[in-house]
A and B are shown apart, each in its own frame.
Chain A
């Protein structure tokens, strides 16, 4: 099963490589990984998307917790199912519009995206949502019209009062 794991870790130079190294050394897979400092400059927050059996996910969280730089973590899918967290991914995508300017812009509207840059041949579109939604947008486009895509990787947060905080 797919799991989103949120990690608070020391904002130190080696911390990211410890996490990445753990995953490659133990053969766990990483679907996506994003990391940035938090409002507390000494901490970074990482969101990691992985999948595996319950046993593997249990090992992953235990191994992550064992890293000295990991302060706290939360498996967003643990005991609460998908309904209890919110996830978002952002994509910037550059699309050739050619003679189909209107059609592309209508599609962007349908997906509640925004055109953030335009030139004579292309639109640059900003789109936020679940990964599925971004995938669906890509599928809706003709493959050969896509010039470039950049995706942020998934970020997640749990609903309500629960918070991953010190």
Chain B
């Protein structure tokens, strides 16, 4: 088949099974847009800002496990996408970004809308390519998808100069189904000896803890994880990125750990003698002060990326491999040893944990006159029966969402953990809703974050995306305010905005439904009403307790056992 570069791109994307691409046109990608226009296999979603294109592709990827695809023009198109690319990079999300570039002959001449896209993106992509020859185009596209989706996933950028897509220059195209790269061979199978060693260590433990993260979700290893945890009667705590891989409502789940984790999870971390870390990267939000981290524990770490192992915390039994492969192997070893499910295993340890649970660290005072943000999340859980896809932005509302919506399935909870990107929630929800047209999708956000990509309300109308936006409006950059309350003697420097739009009118002006809720008693009904509008986007503006804080909290320099709990006065 003789095709132009632009046609190679559109044909390749269809051959690769790409359903949606998220993008925004401009000079250097016009040939590509023209080729896309002439076909109907790959659907293009026109966002209103390139950052949102990347977040939408990201939401699509997180909720499906497939590669999210982005198309942007050179210069400002690409730079606008950078925040979205970096967000995907920090959370290891598979993504391919195609950016237009000025024609090859003009590269380096400060041409109109020229930026060094390969240079700018280099620190926040898994890999990137500049296509210099038409015959490289198809193989490079294939490599990009391969690299993005294998090993530790991540975004890959392909910069394509305009002359590479010239409609008048054609060459033969066949889908390059084989891809081989001598310098890229991710290690999938874990070392069996190490796995046996790990099992031995776990069986010898008195106070084991399973600490799992985003890697379990990325590896689709939820079933294996559940089998092991249940068979061994292990207490399990999950990172912000791992929530849902093991059901949040199950009795062995201690909830999230770390800075805003539960009392029982963090205390268990402090007391554990064998820590089993699975697809988690010992992030500073999780570990707290490294010197006080798991003082008595031998540590097993399963991760596909050797550089994640012993990066922040030295581990005793490293296992490099894909979580699903390694856990499957681990189950085989348990079978061989005849280790069966036993509810009485670790009984004394569970007694200690039950005592910590009695603190009920997530309780909060329910007031009559003002809506508590936590209660909105609890009611949302109730109204959606715990089955919604929930995306979020960044701030207190994100932590409340993580703490009070108990996720039972992987890929159900979608948020920016590593980069903590405000503005992520709404565009990510668009990607989720497109991938799952029948599903209920809620975006829990704050009045600060939602304004960082509010323009996407127009995209939602264009594509008929009935997202429910739950705006926990405290009229503060709440997370910043909380830190200022705790650590800056209440000097609220720039954490307050006094010109907040009327979100109801704003939603309406974009063609959606807006609701404002001020009375706690109305919370549940409002949610029911909104979710009953199956094909409408509804913006629910909840005016919440302005000074609510996120508890528990581990402050800088503190260990897991030094959590700050909600003061008595703020409890029931």
Complex Cα distance A22/B181, Å? 21
- Is A98 in the interface zone, CB < 8 Å from B? no
B123 and A68 within 8 A (CB): no
Known: A14-B130, A25-B123. A59 touches B183 (CB 8 A): no
Known: A9-B183, A25-B123, A68-B184. A55 touches B310 (CB 8 A): yes
- Is B182 in the interface zone, CB < 8 Å from A? yes
Across chains A and B, the number of contacting residue pairs, with CB separation under 8 Å, is 38
- Is B311 in the interface zone, CB < 8 Å from A? yes
Contacts of A165 in B (CB 8 A): none
Contacts of A72 in B (CB 8 A): 183
B147 and A68 within 8 A (CB): yes
Least CB distance, B86 to chain A, in whole angstroms? 12
- Is A10 in the interface zone, CB < 8 Å from B? yes
Known: A9-B183, A69-B183, A166-B182. A63 touches B122 (CB 8 A): no
- Is B207 in the interface zone, CB < 8 Å from A? no
Complex Cα distance A58/B221, Å? 28
Q: Which of chain B's residues has its CB closest to A63's CB?
A: B307
B123 and A21 within 8 A (CB): yes
Q: Which of chain A's residues has its CB closest to B132's CB?
A: A13
Q: Which of chain A's residues has its CB closest to B123's CB?
A: A25
A65 and B184 within 8 A (CB): no
Complex Cα distance A105/B232, Å? 78
Least CB distance, A54 to chain B, in whole angstroms? 10
Contacts of A21 in B (CB 8 A): 122-123
B183 and A66 within 8 A (CB): no
Query: How does the 8 Å CB contact mask read for B178-190 relative to A, with 1 for contact and 0 for none?
Result: 0001111000000
A59 and B311 within 8 A (CB): yes
B183 and A70 within 8 A (CB): yes
Contacts of A25 in B (CB 8 A): 123
A68 and B122 within 8 A (CB): no
- Is A71 in the interface zone, CB < 8 Å from B? yes
A10 and B183 within 8 A (CB): yes
Known: A17-B119, A18-B122. A71 touches B182 (CB 8 A): yes
Known: A14-B118, A17-B119, A21-B122. A68 touches B307 (CB 8 A): no
- Is A101 in the interface zone, CB < 8 Å from B? no
Tally of contact residues, A, Cβ under 8 A:
21
A62 and B183 within 8 A (CB): no
Q: Which of chain A's residues has its CB closest to B156's CB?
A: A68
Contacts of B311 in A (CB 8 A): 59
Contacts of B123 in A (CB 8 A): 21, 25
Query: How does the 8 Å CB contact mask read for B298-319 relative to A, with 1 for contact and 0 for none?
Result: 0000000111001100100000
Complex Cα distance A21/B123, Å? 7
Known: A68-B181, A68-B184. A62 touches B307 (CB 8 A): yes
Interface residues of A in 9-58 (CB under 8 A from B): 9-10, 13-14, 17-18, 21, 25, 55, 58
Complex Cα distance A69/B130, Å? 14
- Is B162 in the interface zone, CB < 8 Å from A? no
B119 and A68 within 8 A (CB): no
Least CB distance, B123 to chain A, in whole angstroms? 5
B118 and A66 within 8 A (CB): no
A68 and B126 within 8 A (CB): yes
Interface residues of A in 57-87 (CB under 8 A from B): 58-59, 62-63, 65-66, 68-72
Q: Which of chain B's residues has its CB closest to A14's CB?
A: B118
Contacts of A66 in B (CB 8 A): 305-307
A71 and B305 within 8 A (CB): no
Complex Cα distance A63/B123, Å? 12
Complex Cα distance A17/B147, Å? 19
Q: Which of chain A's residues has its CB closest to B124's CB?
A: A25
- Is B127 in the interface zone, CB < 8 Å from A? yes
Least CB distance, A164 to chain B, in whole angstroms? 14
Q: Which of chain B's residues has its CB closest to A8's CB?
A: B183
Complex Cα distance A18/B121, Å? 11
B306 and A65 within 8 A (CB): yes
Contacts of B305 in A (CB 8 A): 66
Contacts of B130 in A (CB 8 A): 13-14
Interface residues of B in 160-214 (CB under 8 A from A): 181-184
Contacts of A63 in B (CB 8 A): 307
Q: Which of chain A's residues has its CB closest to B128's CB?
A: A14
Least CB distance, B179 to chain A, in whole angstroms? 12
Known: A18-B122, A68-B184. A59 touches B307 (CB 8 A): yes
Contacts of A13 in B (CB 8 A): 130
Contacts of A10 in B (CB 8 A): 183
Complex Cα distance A63/B310, Å? 12
Contacts of B127 in A (CB 8 A): 68
Known: A59-B307, A62-B306, A63-B307. A17 touches B181 (CB 8 A): no
Q: Which of chain A's residues has its CB closest to B130's CB?
A: A14
Complex Cα distance A14/B183, Å? 15
Complex Cα distance A21/B125, Å? 12
Q: Which of chain A's residues has its CB closest to B305's CB?
A: A66
Q: Which of chain B's residues has its CB closest to A10's CB?
A: B183
Contacts of A62 in B (CB 8 A): 306-307
Q: Which of chain B's residues has its CB closest to A166's CB?
A: B182
Q: Select B310's contact among A17, A58, A69, A71, beta carbons within 8 Å.
A: A58
Contacts of B314 in A (CB 8 A): 55
Kindly name the residue among B182, B183, B305 whose own CB sees the greatest number of chain A CB atoms within 10 A: B183
Contacts of B182 in A (CB 8 A): 71, 166
Q: Which of chain A's residues has its CB closest to B118's CB?
A: A14
Contacts of A9 in B (CB 8 A): 183
Complex Cα distance A80/B43, Å? 57
A17 and B126 within 8 A (CB): no
Contacts of A59 in B (CB 8 A): 307, 311
Contacts of A70 in B (CB 8 A): 183
Least CB distance, B320 to chain A, in whole angstroms? 10
Q: Which of chain B's residues has its CB closest to A21's CB?
A: B122
Contacts of B122 in A (CB 8 A): 14, 17-18, 21
Least CB distance, A63 to chain B, in whole angstroms? 5
Q: List 26 A-B contacts (CB under 8 A).
A: A9-B183, A10-B183, A14-B118, A14-B122, A14-B128, A14-B130, A17-B122, A18-B122, A21-B123, A55-B310, A55-B314, A58-B310, A62-B306, A62-B307, A65-B306, A65-B307, A66-B306, A68-B126, A68-B127, A68-B147, A68-B181, A69-B183, A70-B183, A71-B183, A72-B183, A166-B182
Other A-B pairs, 11, CB within 8 Å; known A17-B122, A72-B183: A14-B118, A18-B122, A55-B310, A55-B314, A62-B306, A62-B307, A65-B307, A68-B126, A68-B127, A71-B182, A166-B182
Top 9 A-B residue pairs of the complex, sorted by shortest distance between their CB atoms: A62-B307, A71-B183, A68-B127, A62-B306, A25-B123, A68-B184, A63-B307, A21-B122, A66-B307
